């Protein structure tokens, strides 16, 4: 675990550990693109995953932290595949780029998904229990995204104060490792299932997305439109399947 993710504070006369939240500016060829509130660590992965999810890059690029603003700036090599236009704005750790998308726009960067694996329902229900969240256990303040095989084996996991950042870090790492598109994998998130998380999963080619919490109506609509299996309330051995039930087998 990266110790930059945790800060020690005073609480009720004792020391307590809390999750760190700091701004990160993403630049491409020296030009500022966006600022997001995130937990430090794997910043290069976050930047690459974000750019890929926005349809701005189609593969890994050189990326690294600069000396600016106490290493809160990550520089990515361009060029971008297209002009980001109105996407140059501030995002928060809670919502990401809220309200920016439409089903038609996502469809440009996320073609309908292929068949993908068929996964036992019991495996889907148990994925949250297999998420390793060491920083959450210390602070109680982070979300997590895990990348799994169809058999439920954890490939990698990332934590962040923002649920969308955790997803970007996983996709960015998978991009560097040559795993994208994630056509044979399953993504699992520790919180609710938003439109944006479904968008990121679809663009990365992941056929199945599972969450501990509830999906939103637009998340379900987008998942159905892209042919993605969306499952929520995965806890205590149960899971609700909202779309793409053909990929879920009775275990």
pLDDT at 134: 78
Which two structure tokens, joined as six digits, stand for 224? 């159905």
Whether residue 87 is found in the same domain as residue 140: no
pLDDT at 71: 72
pLDDT at 250: 84
Whether residue 130 is found in the same domain as residue 78: no
Radius of gyration of the chain (CA): 18
* Residue appearing with tokens 């675990």: 1
Per the annotation, the verdict on 95 as an active-site residue is yes
Whether residue 245 is found in the same domain as residue 200: yes
**Burial grade of 62 (CB within 10 A; 0-12, 13-18, 19 or more):** exposed
Q: What CATH number did the domain enclosing 25 receive?
A: 3.10.20.10
Catalytic residue from among 95, 108, 118, 245:
95
User: Model-level pTM?
Assistant: 0.90
Q: Are 177 and 185 a contacting pair, CB within 8 Å? A: no
**Is 107 contained in some domain?**
no
pLDDT (tens digit, 0 to 9) for every residue of the chain, 251 residues total?
Answer: 677 888 888 888 888 888 889 999 999 999 999 999 999 999 999 999 999 998 899 999 999 998 765 679 999 999 999 888 755 545 555 554 444 445 666 666 778 899 999 999 999 999 999 998 777 777 777 999 999 999 999 999 999 999 999 999 999 999 999 999 999 999 999 999 999 999 999 999 999 999 999 999 999 999 999 999 999 999 989 999 999 999 999 86
**Is 182 contained in some domain?**
yes
Whether residue 82 is found in the same domain as residue 44: yes
Whether residue 132 is found in the same domain as residue 213: yes
Whether residue 125 is found in the same domain as residue 90: no
| Distance of alpha carbon 46 from alpha carbon 6, whole angstroms | 18
**Is 218 contained in some domain?**
yes
> Could you give the angle at the alpha carbon of 245 between the alpha carbons of 242 and 251, nearest 5°?
115
- The domain tally of the chain equals 2
Q: Are 89 and 33 a contacting pair, CB within 8 Å? A: no
Beta strands in 111-218 (DSSP E): 119-120, 143-149, 154-160, 185-189, 208-211
**Is 109 contained in some domain?**
no
Q: Are 61 and 45 a contacting pair, CB within 8 Å? A: no
Largest CA distance in the chain: 56
Whether residue 130 is found in the same domain as residue 30: no
Q: Which DSSP state fits 165? A: H
pLDDT at 69: 57
| Distance of alpha carbon 238 from alpha carbon 78, whole angstroms | 44
Give 147's strand partners: 156, 187
Whether residue 201 is found in the same domain as residue 158: yes
Whether residue 127 is found in the same domain as residue 224: yes
Whether residue 140 is found in the same domain as residue 240: yes
pLDDT at 98: 45
Q: What CATH number did the domain enclosing 157 receive?
A: 3.40.140.10
- Give residue 131's domain range: 119-249
Whether residue 145 is found in the same domain as residue 94: no
């Amino acid at each position: 675990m990266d110790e930059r993710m945790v800060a020690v504070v005073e609480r009720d006369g004792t020391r307590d550990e809390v999750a760190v939240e700091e701004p990160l500016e993403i630049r491409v060829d020296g030009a500022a693109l966006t600022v997001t509130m995130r937990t430090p660590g794997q910043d290069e992965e976050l930047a690459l995953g974000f750019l890929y999810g926005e349809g701005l890059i189609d593969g890994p690029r050189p990326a690294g932290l600069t000396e600016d603003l106490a290493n809160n700036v990550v520089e990515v090599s361009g060029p971008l595949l297209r002009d980001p236009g109105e996407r140059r704005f501030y995002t928060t750790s809670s919502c990401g780029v809220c309200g920016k998308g439409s089903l038609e726009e996502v469809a440009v960067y996320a073609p309908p998904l292929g068949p993908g694996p068929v996964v036992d329902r019991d495996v889907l229900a148990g994925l949250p229990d297999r998420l390793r969240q060491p920083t959450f256990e210390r602070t109680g303040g982070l979300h997590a995204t895990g990348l799994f095989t169809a058999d439920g084996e954890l490939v990698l996991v990332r934590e962040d104060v923002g649920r969308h950042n955790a997803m970007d870090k996983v996709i960015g790492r998978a991009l560097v490792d040559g795993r994208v598109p994630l056509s044979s994998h399953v993504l699992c998130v520790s919180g609710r299932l938003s439109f944006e998380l479904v968008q990121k999963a679809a663009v990365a080619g992941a056929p199945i997305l599972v969450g501990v919490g509830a999906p939103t109506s637009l998340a379900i609509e987008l998942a159905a439109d892209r042919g993605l299996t969306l499952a929520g309330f995965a806890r205590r051995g149960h899971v609700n399947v909202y779309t793409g039930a053909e990929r879920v087998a009775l275990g």
